[in-house]
Structure 1
Amino acid sequence: MHDANRNLRTENEELVARIRELDIMVAEQAHGVQRLKDRCRSSDAGCATAMRYVAQKRERMKAGLAVYNTEFA
């Protein structure tokens, strides 16, 4: 009986150690995922800024072409 209890205790300690290792792995992965989300958010903001800039340039070019066409028409 004493050996059975010792074996169970040893097995329990090993399982607890494994669970701690897995908890650490999950926390590291969660941190990595959060960093990727932050990078995507930053990238999305940069992309939106670039799209606004392109839209402004396009409108200026269209206005310039309209003036050009009326001057030479």
Structure 2
Amino acid sequence: MTYSVIKVSCESCSESYQGVLNDIFQVNGEYATTCPKCNKQTFIKNILNGGILTDEPPLDAVSIMTVKILKIT
């Protein structure tokens, strides 16, 4: 299996941590992860650098999930 690993900065507490996706990031994809320090969600989109590809996820990495952000107008 291929994992994509990126550095994430929490939008709430600014904690920096590694996030891992069980796939390859899509340029137009939208993703979410939960901060291990404050337990708040950070949303990630427009990933220009697809991160590091690896066959084993780092032990301390937090899961990244694919999401769709809906905009209400």
Query: TM-score under structure 2 normalisation?
Result: 0.16
Larger fraction in helix: 1
Q: Flag the structure with larger Rg.
A: 1
Query: TM-score under structure 1 normalisation?
Result: 0.16
Where relative contact order (Cα < 8 A, 6+ residues apart) is larger, the structure is 2
